[in-house]
Amino acid sequence: MTSGGGDEGMIDVDAARGAILAGIAPLPAVETPILDALGLILAEEIVAAEDIPPFRNSAMDGYAVRAADLAGASHTTPTRLRVVAEGPAGYAPRGAVTPGTAIRIMTGAPLPPGADTVVRFEETDEPTRGMASSSARAPGEVCIGIAQDRWVNVREAGEDIRAGTTALPPGVPLRPAEIGVLASLGRATVRVHRHPVVAIVSTGDEVVALGGTPRPGQIRDSNSHTLAALVRRYGGIPRPLGVARDTVADLTTTLAAARDADLIISSGGVSVGDYDMVKDVLRAEGQIAIWQVRMKPGKPLAYGRLDGVPFLGLPGNPVAAYVSFELFARPILLRQLGHATLDKPTVRARVTAPVPNGGGRHHFVRALVTAGPNGPEVRPTGDQGSGILTALTRANGLLVIPGDNEGLGVGDMADVILLHREQGSEIPRANQ
Ligand code: AMP
Ligand code: MG
C-alpha cells in the first residue's frame, strides 16, 4: 500500500462508532466493597433475603394504642389510657397493648402486640411536646386528643422491599441511593464490571514529558494528561506510558507495556506525514480496521487491535484528540463498564452567532450553551483551530453540524453534545 493512500477508506462518524463498538463487550465482574462500586454498573441481580423494613414499626414518636380505644376523642374530650411500658428503638417490644392501655414508643421501635395505630406526642398531653391539657396529668396515664384509623403512623414490614423480590436488577448504575439499598440488605460487597485499564501513549520527537525542558522546536506533552483525565472521568484507570519517538522501533517498544491493558490510546503520528508511524506499527504488529473519519476536528484516526487489545490512534492536535476521545474512546469505556446508554446527553439549542461549515465533514464546534428566554441558546467559543485548547475550556458543549450542511445562521436550531453532563443525568421521557 502507498503511504497515506487511504486504503482503509475514510468513513463517517456513525459508521466508525458502530464498527468500533461491535467488537467491545463489558469487562468481567469483580466483587467490590459497596463504596468503591459507586458509579459502576451492577453485574448481578440483588434479590432481597429479608423484608425491609424487617418488622412493623412506628413512624413517629408517640403512643402505640388501639384505634378502637380512641373513638370520639378530641382535644376537648380526650381519651385517658394507662401507660404500661416504654418502647425505645432498638429493642423488642416490652409488653403488649390491651384495651385501655398505651405504650410510649419512639420512631423505628417495633410496634407492640395489640397496638394498631400510633398517636404522635402532639396529639397527647405529653409534657412540653403535647396539646394543652385542662386537667392535671395523672401519673402513669396519657390523654389522647384525637380519633384516628388503624395503621396510621405505622410502617409495615416489607413496605420498602419484600423478601424474595428483586431490589436491584443487573445493569443499573450504582448511585448513592443504590449503595444505601445494598447496605440495608446487609451487602458489604457487590459484583460490578471492573474499571478498564487504559494505556496512554503520546508520540512525537517534538513532544517532551511534563517536568522536562523543551529544546528549540519542542513542546510539552499535554495530550497524555488530557486523555488520562478523560479516562479517569469516565471510569477507567489511566496507565500513562510516556512519549514515544517517531520511529517504529521506539513506538513498538513503548507499546510492549500496554499488552495487558483493556484499551490502548495513542495520540499523534496517525496522519499522512513522513513521521506518522502509528498505522505502520498497527499493521506490522496487529490489525488495523479503520483509518480516517469524515469529521472536523480530527480526520486522522486509526482503530484496530494490538495483541487483541482494542487500539485507538487519536490525532495529535489537542482539540482533535479530545473530541475524538469523546466520540470514540468514551463509548468504548462505557460499554466495557457495562453501561446501556453510550451517548452523551444532547440538547437542541437556538444558534445566536453564525457557524460556518465546509469540506463535507461532520463538524464538532466548541460552543457555549446558555439558558435563553425561550430555551437553550448556543454560540461558538472562538477560534476553532484544532490546537486551540483554551476554546474548549470556555465551552460546555460541542455543536454538531452534519457534513452535508453548509453552515448555520442566527436563529437556526442545532444539536449540542453536553460535555459535562453524565450518564443518568438525562431527564427520562414520561412513559419510561
Ligand atoms: P501529529 O498528528 O503527530 O502530526 O501532531 C499534530 C499536532 O499535534 C502537532 O502540532 C503536534 O506537535 C501536536 N501534538 C502531538 N502530540 C501532542 C501532545 N502529546 N501534546 C500536545 N501536542 C501534541
Ligand atoms: Mg507527530
Average pLDDT, the chain: 94
Crossing angle of helices 278-285 and 248-255, in 10° steps, is: 60
Predicted local confidence at residue 141, as pLDDT: 96
CB-based burial label for 238 (10 Å; 0-12, 13-18, 19+): buried
Query: Cα(288) to centroid of ligand 2, in Å?
Result: 19
Q: For residue 397, give its domain range.
A: 346-423
Residues of the chain with pLDDT below 50 are 1-8
Q: Is 121 in the same domain as 105? A: yes
130 in contact with ligand 1, CB cutoff 6 A: no
Query: Cα(161) to centroid of ligand 2, in Å?
Result: 57
Q: Is 100 in the same domain as 19? A: no
Positive or negative, the CA dihedral 75, 76, 81, 86 is positive
- Neighbouring-strand partners of residue 305: 287, 310
267 in contact with ligand 1, CB cutoff 6 A: yes
Q: What is the CATH number of the domain that holds 86?
A: 2.170.190.11
Q: Is 74 in the same domain as 149? A: yes
Residues 6+ apart with CB under 8 A from 419: 326, 344, 395, 396, 397, 398
Q: Is 221 in the same domain as 280? A: yes
Q: Is 130 in the same domain as 39? A: no
Whether 293 is in a domain gets the answer yes
DSSP codes of every residue in 318-332: HHHHHHHIIIIIHHH
Q: Is 123 in the same domain as 168? A: no
Query: Cα(222) to centroid of ligand 2, in Å?
Result: 13
Q: Which atom of ligand 1 is nearest to the CA of 202?
A: 19
Q: Is 217 in the same domain as 330? A: yes
Which amino acid makes up residue 336?
Q
Predicted local confidence at residue 1, as pLDDT: 33
Whether 247 is in a domain gets the answer yes
Best residue among 267, 270, 389 to mutate for probing ligand 1's pocket (most ligand atoms within 8 Å of CB) is 267
Q: Is 125 in the same domain as 168? A: no
Whether 290 is in a domain gets the answer yes
Write down which residue in 313, 337, 361 finishes a domain.
337
Write down which residue in 131, 155, 179 finishes a domain.
155
Give the Cα separation of 166 and 181 in Å (integer). Answer: 11
384 in contact with ligand 1, CB cutoff 6 A: no
Number of domains in the chain: 4
Q: Which atom of ligand 1 is nearest to the CA of 276?
A: 3
219 in contact with ligand 1, CB cutoff 6 A: yes
Write down which residue in 133, 155, 177 finishes a domain.
155
Give the Cα separation of 138 and 294 in Å (integer). Answer: 87
Report the relative pairing of strands 295-296 and 362-372 from DSSP bridges: parallel
209 in contact with ligand 1, CB cutoff 6 A: no
Give the Cα separation of 191 and 82 in Å (integer). Answer: 52
Whether 7 is in a domain gets the answer no
Q: What is the CATH number of the domain that holds 253?
A: 3.40.980.10
Q: Is 328 in the same domain as 241? A: yes
Q: Is 108 in the same domain as 120? A: yes
Predicted local confidence at residue 7, as pLDDT: 40
- Written as nine digits, the cell of 245 is 519517538
Q: Is 89 in the same domain as 131? A: yes
146-185: per-residue pLDDT in tens?
999 999 999 999 999 999 999 999 999 999 999 999 999 9
Give the Cα separation of 105 and 93 in Å (integer). Answer: 9
Whether 1 is in a domain gets the answer no
Whether 430 is in a domain gets the answer no
Q: Is 39 in the same domain as 170? A: yes
